[in-house]
């Protein structure tokens, strides 16, 4: 018997309205392509919408100050390619007096391990070399933890690098689709109390602010953006078998049928905060909030462990959040 209280079919499969999709949603003229199954766009309107969204995502954080040095964290992803072009357009716009200026100094960096290389030029950033890492990663129990730890270490490295080279801001190239994957993975890892850090528009560590300007763009939207500028779209990288991979497949599968899935997920992320009743306890490893007074699942886990074995329980690693306790460190 289904024990659900309904809501199973609350999202009906989208059936595109032929008449609607033929018109551009902005200018109402003939559309050239369709996104999200239902929205028709013409080229100029769409590109304008993208540039506007990019500017406003950064602008509404109110975190950027004139003269800020911004490190743009690059890799070989679709988001990174789109970011390079969006910034190029932004720089050109700044040269004209008509548009509102976002006057910042942008440099591009590839950071791996704890070292990186800075590039000045948009073009040079497209050709990059692997930078070998000195820091040997301790082996993890499984690929989920390995992937997670790698991304955490990279983030720490970028922030450290930015700090050392006097950058006050870092732009990441995570798209809205990436963040939707990360949100589900985070929840499945027990990081529900840390969602603002992992999926929010900004994150602060050691005086450096990390921003996610592409978070309101789905992969489909950026793919279209690149194609309109005849830029080669980098092939999508998928993680090996892991929770990250399951989350990617799950979200992407739903997104294909229900194009509002990704936006709904990051909008939901915006409304969630950590349970702030407990005093500010921060995890040593990830630097995120470590809820210490939530009575529930963790205690249930302890009880199960007590009742299932006669071995003395290992002392809990102090100052680490539940999820980071699964990760082995040096």
Give whichever of 41 and 148 is closer to another protein, judged by the CB atom.
148
Cβ-contact 252, 177 below 8 angstroms: yes
What's the closest the beta carbon of residue 112 comes to another protein, in angstroms? 26
Report if residue 265 touches another protein, rule: CB under 8 A.
yes
Give whichever of 1 and 97 is closer to another protein, judged by the CB atom.
1
Report if residue 307 touches another protein, rule: CB under 8 A.
yes
Report if residue 315 touches another protein, rule: CB under 8 A.
no
- State which of residues 303, 316, 319, 329 lies at the interface with another protein (CB under 8 A): 303
Report if residue 298 touches another protein, rule: CB under 8 A.
yes
Report if residue 280 touches another protein, rule: CB under 8 A.
no
Q: Show contacts with another protein in window 76-105 (CB under 8 A).
A: none
Report if residue 246 touches another protein, rule: CB under 8 A.
yes
Report if residue 314 touches another protein, rule: CB under 8 A.
no
What's the closest the beta carbon of residue 140 comes to another protein, in angstroms? 12
Where residue 6 falls (left for φ over 0; alpha for ψ -120 to 50; beta otherwise) is left
What's the closest the beta carbon of residue 195 comes to another protein, in angstroms? 7
- State which of residues 270, 281, 284, 329 lies at the interface with another protein (CB under 8 A): 270
Question: Helix (H, G, I), strand (E, B), or coil: what is residue 147?
Answer: helix
# chain residues binding another protein, by CB under 8 A: 65
- State which of residues 57, 75, 151, 188 lies at the interface with another protein (CB under 8 A): 188
CA 9 to chain centre: 29
Report if residue 144 touches another protein, rule: CB under 8 A.
yes
Phi (first) and psi of residue 145, to 5 degrees: -70, -35
- State which of residues 309, 312, 315, 330 lies at the interface with another protein (CB under 8 A): 309
- State which of residues 61, 75, 151, 264 lies at the interface with another protein (CB under 8 A): 264
Dihedral angle sign, alpha carbons of residues 83, 89, 92, 98: negative
Query: Which span sits near another protein by CB under 8 A: 84-92, 119-127, 130-138, 258-266?
Result: 258-266
Structure tokens at 28: 């109402």
CA dihedral 154, 156, 157, 159 (to 10 degrees): 120
Residues 172 and 176: their CA atoms lie apart, in Å, by 12
Report if residue 329 touches another protein, rule: CB under 8 A.
no
Cβ-contact 81, 88 below 8 angstroms: no
Structure tokens at 77: 């992803």
Structure tokens at 168: 């006050």
Report if residue 285 touches another protein, rule: CB under 8 A.
no
What are the Cα distances from residue 275, in Å, to 38, 75, 292, 293, 323? 38, 34, 10, 9, 16
H/E stretch holding 170? strand 169-171
Phi (first) and psi of residue 148, to 5 degrees: -65, -45
**CA-only gyration radius of the chain, Å:** 22
Binding site for another protein (CB under 8 A): 1-11, 142, 144, 183-184, 186-196, 241-243, 246-247, 250, 253-254, 261, 264-265, 267-268, 270-276, 291, 294-301, 303-305, 307-311, 322-323
């Amino acid at each position: 018997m289904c024990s659900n209280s309904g809501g199973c079919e609350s999202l009906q499969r989208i059936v595109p309205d032929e008449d609607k999709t033929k018109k551009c949603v902005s200018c109402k003229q003939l559309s050239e392509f369709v996104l999200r199954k239902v929205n028709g766009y013409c080229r100029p309107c769409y590109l304008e919408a993208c540039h506007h969204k990019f500017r406003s995502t950064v602008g509404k954080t109110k975190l950027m100050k004139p003269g800020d040095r911004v490190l743009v964290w690059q890799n070989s992803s679709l988001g990174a390619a789109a970011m390079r072009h969006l910034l190029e357009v932004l720089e050109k716009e700044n040269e004209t007096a008509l548009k509102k200026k976002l006057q910042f100094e942008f440099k591009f960096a590839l950071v791996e391990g704890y070292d990186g290389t800075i590039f000045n030029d948009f073009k040079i950033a497209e050709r990059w070399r692997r930078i070998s890492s000195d820091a040997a990663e301790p082996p993890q129990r499984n690929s989920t933890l390995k992937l997670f730890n790698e991304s955490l270490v990279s983030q720490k490295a970028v922030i450290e690098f930015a700090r050392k080279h006097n950058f006050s801001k870092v732009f990441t190239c995570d798209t809205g689709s990436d963040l939707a994957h990360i949100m589900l993975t985070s929840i499945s890892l027990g990081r529900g109390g840390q969602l603002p850090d992992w999926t929010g528009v900004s994150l602060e560590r050691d005086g450096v602010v990390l921003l996610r300007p592409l978070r309101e763009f789905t992969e489909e939207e950026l793919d279209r953006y690149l194609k309109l500028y005849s830029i080669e779209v980098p092939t999508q990288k998928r993680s090996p078998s892991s929770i990250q991979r399951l989350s990617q497949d799950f979200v992407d599968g739903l997104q294909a049928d229900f194009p509002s899935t990704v936006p709904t997920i990051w909008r939901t992320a915006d409304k969630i905060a950590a349970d702030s009743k407990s005093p500010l306890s921060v995890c040593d490893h990830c630097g995120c909030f470590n809820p210490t007074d939530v009575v529930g699942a963790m205690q249930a886990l302890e009880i199960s462990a007590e009742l299932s074995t006669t071995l003395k329980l290992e002392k809990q690693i102090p100052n680490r959040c539940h999820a980071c306790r699964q990760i082995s460190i040096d």
